Amino acid sequence: MSAGLVILAVIAIAIVGFFVGRSRALNSAGGDIRQLHSLPGYYGQAVFLFSAVPALLVTAVWLILQPMMIENRISDMILPTDIAEGSSLELIMADVRRISSGLDTAVVAGALSEPEIETLNLDNTDVRGVLAGVGVAVASDIKPNVLDASVAYRAKTAAARGYMAVVSIAIALVGFAVALSLTKPDYRARNVSEAAIKSLLVLSSFVAILTTIGIIASLIFETSNFFRMYPAKDFFFNLTWNPQFTGGSDLGIIPLLWGTLYVSFVALVFAVPIGLFVAIYLSEYASSKVRSIVKPAVEVLAGIPTIVYGLFALITVGPLLRDYFAQPLGLGQSSSSVLTAGLVMGIMLIPFVSSLSDDVINAVPQSMRDGSYGLGATQSETVKQVILPAALPGIVGAIILAASRAIGETMIVVMGAGAAAKLSLNPLEAMTTITVKIVSQLTGDTEFASPETLVAFALGLSLFVITLGLNVLALYIVRKYREQYE
């Protein structure tokens, strides 16, 4: 019985449980709902939960543990002599899993029968050929021990599946019976369903938090590996970025950090005023009709994938800036430049700034506007002197969030600003950012344990710390702002 079928069976039992529980609750009260502690549906839900939740949990744990335990046993069958030069036990075990699932496929396709598999050996069958015949390609020649391990793996897996089916369904039935025996008029079924919902919510938040912690932990772990190979002092203070595949690289973060901040700064210089003006226009000046058209139109900008912005930078904005600014002014020859990337990124950020600011401006109570208009102020006086000051902390929060977005942006930078790490003030020169270098360090051919690769994690962690700091700052400011009106 496959895992999918087991899960279906458990759920089927639970659904039956729902109806049985509900009608049993009704019967126990003699058909009078008022005699029950909870509505009948809640009794049904309780039976459903008792049947499904423990059984599904066991199934899940089983599915996680089963391959590990079986592999542990099987790996004894592989001798050190079976492991070829340049290979490893893990690679062999991957082969084992592949062959064993290949055998399954072969059985289904009729190329092999169960008895044939039991007596399978390399002398009487061209296993590799048979597997290739059913579309499963195995890279190297299959060694006898590997084949035996595969057959054993397959057999153990099938057996374990059988046990799992029995255990899970048994647990579901026990849960069913227990819940049904609890179904009496004074049983607090409603509270059970409340508790179930609460644990679901708690569980979800745990997943989110644990993921974050996991990401940070892995970053920190790899970063500490990196610092063991490359001095932290050089990483933070070296002014050059020049990775060498042969070793002896300069891996200073400063030029990358400079590029990141420069591009983000240029982007914000474009995005903040325009975004803010859009927000002011939409929330203060536009009639509701115009607003209903313009607001979604601006927000479409936010839906464009950044790679498309990158293309725009590469083929339109870059050459335009080169031909009309850089070359005539003698400031550079390259179409990739900080200005190109910053400009296009700025366009990308406009809806971000405008829709957040629009929300904040709309949150300024109408009575503030009335007060100002009632004193004979014009619209722009009202915006300047009442609305913007009142909304300012929220707007600052929006800008900081936009900044952390800009700092984390990759695609637009690769295509707009290039990949050359440089410390320069000239905005028409190519420069690059932390994110771009993370990508290029990890996609190279260098082996994974070299400082040239691991530096990506140190860069990632630095980036994470910067954006986290900005986000915390933004949150703090926004929260402070909320207090003003409460």
Footprint of another protein (CB under 8 A): 287-288, 365, 367-378, 381, 385-386, 389-390, 484
* Measured CA angle at 357 (ends 356, 362), to 5 deg: 105
- Strand, coil or helix: 118: helix
Smallest gap from residue 287 Cβ to another protein (A):
7
Name the DSSP letter for residue 140. S
Smallest gap from residue 384 Cβ to another protein (A):
10
Smallest gap from residue 400 Cβ to another protein (A):
21
Nearer to another protein, 387 or 414 (CB): 387
Rounded distance, CA 393 to CA 484, Å? 10
Nearer to another protein, 371 or 469 (CB): 371
Contact call for residues 168 and 62 (beta carbons, < 8 A)? yes
Nearer to another protein, 21 or 393 (CB): 393
Which residue is listed with tokens 């590469």? 314
Nearer to another protein, 112 or 478 (CB): 478
Give the number of residues written for the chain: 486
What would the two tokens of residue 467 be? 């954006």
Smallest gap from residue 362 Cβ to another protein (A):
15
The percent helix, strand, coil of the chain (3-state, each to 5) is 75, 0, 20
Nearer to another protein, 156 or 369 (CB): 369
Smallest gap from residue 479 Cβ to another protein (A):
16
Strand-pairing partners, residue 241, are 251
Which own/partner pairs from 127-133 qualify as long-range (CB within 8 Å, at least 24 positions apart)? Answer: 127/99, 130/106, 131/99, 131/102, 131/103, 131/105, 131/106, 133/106
What would the two tokens of residue 190 be? 């409603």
Nearer to another protein, 324 or 485 (CB): 485
Rounded distance, CA 129 to CA 143, Å? 14
Nearer to another protein, 372 or 453 (CB): 372
Name the DSSP letter for residue 386. I
What would the two tokens of residue 288 be? 């509701």
Nearer to another protein, 2 or 484 (CB): 484
Q: Which residues of 233-262 are buried (b: 16+ CB within 10 A; e: fewer)?
A: eebeebeebebeeeeebbbbbbbbbbbbbb
Neighbours of 285 (CB within 10 A): 12
Smallest gap from residue 62 Cβ to another protein (A):
60
Smallest gap from residue 483 Cβ to another protein (A):
10
Smallest gap from residue 294 Cβ to another protein (A):
16
Determine the residue type at 318: G
